[in-house]
Amino acid sequence: MKGMLGLWKNESIKIFRPVANKIILIIAVLLIAVPPCFTYIISRSENGGYDEYYYVPDDDADAEVKVYFYAERDTRDFFRDNEISQNSWRYSRYCGSYRDLKMKQYACEEVTSGRTDAQTVASLFGWLFETPSETDVYTEDGMLHDGPAAVSPSYEEITADDIDFAKELEKAKVDLAELEYNITEQSVKEYAQSRADSAKKTLEAAKLQRAEASANFDDGKNSAYLGAFNRAKADVEIAEYQISAYKAFAEADKDEEDWMFSEIEGCLPMVFSTLRESCVEDEKTFISEDYGDRTYEQYKRECEKTQSRAREAAITVQYSLDNKIPLSDYVQNSTKSTVYGSLGTAAAITVIVMIIITVTLIAGEYSNGTIRLLLIRPKTRSKIIISKFLALMTCAILISIVGFVLVYGISIALFGVSDAFVPELMYSSGVIEVPALVYGALKLILPLFSGIFIISIAFMMATVTEKIAVAAVLPFIVDMFSGVVQTIALSLIEKFSFLRFTMLPYLNLGNLLVSPVDRFIYRPMIFSPDAAVYSDISLLAGVIIIALHTLAMYIIALAVFRKKEIKS
């Protein structure tokens, strides 16, 4: 044991003593410090302030140019003069509505003043004068509302004969006055109560639709109504979630308003839309639609799985609102988001550095001739290989600790404590509060653990080839394309289940550490590691498979090293 410790110490010295390695490690630490600083610079440029407009249209400019410009200018001036930041919930909620009413006002004034003919304005801004459709409790934004749902007709459907511009001008002014009052005077509690009341009316309408759909469905005897029945049930469920969400929002403190609003009207609509869209249709409708080469049973299982995920996300958001634990993606200048993103970068930098150090430590022994001096000692070759492995892991752990402390320290120094120590919400048969430091550590450790496999490839290649440059090529290629390979594997895993037992879906375990809400925040695209959030593969299985593959690489290296003849 003592001899093993001595070898471990000597190999560690070989890593930290060379000037070249010291320079590499210093550069690595500096690179790890860059992401939080860069994020801070970006956040300062997006601080919710208002830029000045330098362009002023001429009097003879086109009506379209003038209407758009004046509406934008007035909207900016109104919110700025009332000290409403672009990052605030009031701006997010009302800015678009205020701008549209201003455009409507200026469009009407173009006609009533005689500057522009009515048909031109109607063709350009007809969509501002659209009329509601028949009552529908569900709208395209994923939220439920009582009353008519607006339908956007094409511009050709609106003509000058359809619009009384003088009347519309007066109506726009009245609507603007009411909206300005709501923006400046309406409290959060009043707003939340009005939305909750609307959701309650919607709930009653949805229950009636559910009862009608249930009667038509007749306990499965009339399967043609299965889709309508499932959607009606989803509408009721969504309305109940809305009421609970706005009830929590009504109790928000001043510093909680913005993130609560973002969760309710930013995240939940995506969840609700998914919940409704994934309702199972009847088999006849399934056959008539284009659902690819899936069977009806596969389609039903996928719908049930998607709905389960949507409910988990809705429950997580509701837990966040009720317990006033913000989700980091909805906190402006979130310290946690900065930390988590930077720790992922720190892990990637650590892996690259360790590949370089590994090939120089192993293959460098051969090129420098020091391997002969090592082998004349009364130590087994197994102990030599193990000592090198331990020394490399020691180096990786030290870099990780320094990176973890550095990222947290810089992020807190730049962004403040903010939500740095607010628990992260995960889901496993219920919402779980994970301490922020623990979750942050996992965000660093998991991708680094995946990186250990890539480092083991470098270790094996260096032992086999004895060439630094050659040994570094394969691990760098694997590291470079790991995200793409993982995404492709995850997209094919349902079709080719054997992929679950390979390394491919686990090339970055950090991508598998996701909450239910992450599935709706990060919409994965092809060649994006975020596709991992839609997978059901086990994180524990990934750890085991990586450990086995890593062990296999070191066993190969040991077997080759034992049989190598060292030339004198």
Out of 57-66, 219-228, 376-385, 399-408, give the one with best mean pLDDT: 399-408
Q: Which residues of 257-289 are buried (b: 16+ CB within 10 A; e: fewer)?
A: bbbbbbbbbbbbbbbbbbbbebbbbbeeebeee
Higher pLDDT, residue 320 or 467: 320
Least confident of 86-90, 189-193, 350-354, 436-440: 86-90
> Which pLDDT score is estimated for 431?
92
Higher pLDDT, residue 319 or 291: 319
pLDDT band for 266, please (50, 70, 90 cuts): confident
Q: How far is CA 82 from CA 69, 96, 184, in A?
A: 20, 16, 7
**Rounded to two decimals, what is the model's pTM?**
0.82
Number of other CB atoms surrounding residue 370 within 10 Å: 12
557 Cβ neighbours under 8 A, 6+ residues apart: 385, 456, 459, 460, 463, 464
- For 324: left if phi > 0, alpha if psi spans -120 to 50, otherwise beta; the answer is left
- Dihedral angle sign, alpha carbons of residues 331, 333, 339, 342: positive
If you average pLDDT over residues 98-104, what whole number do you get?
A: 92
pLDDT band for 251, please (50, 70, 90 cuts): very high
Contact 535, 495 (CB under 8 A): no
**Cα 351 from Cα 451, distance rounded (Å):** 6
In the chain, the percentage of residues whose pLDDT exceeds 90 is 36
**Cα 357 from Cα 359, distance rounded (Å):** 6
Higher pLDDT, residue 192 or 6: 192
Instruction: Report residue 103 as tokens.
Output: 């455009």
Does the structure show a pLDDT above 70 at 92?
yes
Does the structure show a pLDDT above 50 at 510?
yes
Greatest pairwise CA separation for the chain in angstroms:
102
pLDDT band for 298, please (50, 70, 90 cuts): confident
> Which pLDDT score is estimated for 513?
83
Does the structure show a pLDDT above 50 at 288?
yes
pLDDT band for 28, please (50, 70, 90 cuts): very high
> Which pLDDT score is estimated for 326?
92
Backbone phi, psi, residue 280, to 5°: -70, 130
Q: Side-chain half-sphere of 283: how many Cα atoms within 13 Å? A: 7
**Cα 559 from Cα 438, distance rounded (Å):** 38
Q: Would you call 543 exposed, middle or buried from its count of C-beta atoms within 10 A (0-12, 13-18, 19+)?
A: middle
Contact 190, 248 (CB under 8 A): no
> Which pLDDT score is estimated for 142?
41
> Which pLDDT score is estimated for 471?
87
> Which pLDDT score is estimated for 148?
36
String of DSSP letters for 343-409: HHHHHHHHHHHHHHHHHHHHHHHHHHTHHHHHHTSS--HHHHHHHHHHHHHHHHHHHHHHHHHHHHH
**Cα 475 from Cα 557, distance rounded (Å):** 15
Contact 381, 558 (CB under 8 A): yes
**Cα 461 from Cα 469, distance rounded (Å):** 10
Fill in the DSSP letter of residue 267. I
pLDDT band for 157, please (50, 70, 90 cuts): low
**Cα 150 from Cα 516, distance rounded (Å):** 31
24 Cβ neighbours under 8 A, 6+ residues apart: 353, 356, 357
480 Cβ neighbours under 8 A, 6+ residues apart: none
Residue 141 amino acid letter: D
